Amino acid sequence: MKNKRDQESSFGRRLARLRKSAGYTQAALAERLSVSQRVIAYYETESGHPPANLLVDLSHVLSTSTDELLGVERPDPLPKSELMQKLGEAIALDPASQEKLINLVDAFLKKEFSKRQELSK
């Protein structure tokens, strides 16, 4: 989940922070992206946003997501439930037992979905 600092900062501030944490100077980042240092400075001074293709290249070079660059908030991850714990345990089963479990789950889900369809008619 994003921290409060990311929610409050602009694209330019996020770009500068991510660039610095990746160990790039503006000039070095510009060289990696085949743009001028002035282009990087422009986007860091909150004057604008890069085009989509440059945004994707920035995310790759800085080893981050475009969501993080843009300040898009991601939903909280699902809590680890008992079902997820059981699925984790099932991964340790031998392949034959996994196949049996898959067949059992498939049959159960088909039955449950059939019930729902009947109720919705």
Tens digits of residue pLDDT in 46-66: 767 899 999 999 999 999 999
Q: What is the overall mean pLDDT for the chain?
A: 84
Q: Is residue 105 part of a domain?
A: yes
Residues above pLDDT 70, as percent of the chain = 87
Q: Is residue 77 part of a domain?
A: no
* Statement to judge: residues 14 and 62 lie in one domain: yes
Q: Is residue 76 part of a domain?
A: no
Number of separate domains in the chain? 2
pTM above 0.75, yes or no: no
* Statement to judge: residues 64 and 93 lie in one domain: no
Token output for 95: 């392949």
* Statement to judge: residues 23 and 54 lie in one domain: yes
For residue 23, what are the domain limits?
A: 4-70
Going by C-alpha positions, the residue among 27, 28, 2, 26 that lies closest to residue 15 is 26
* Statement to judge: residues 97 and 63 lie in one domain: no
Whole-angstrom distance, CA of residue 106 vs CA of residue 111:
9
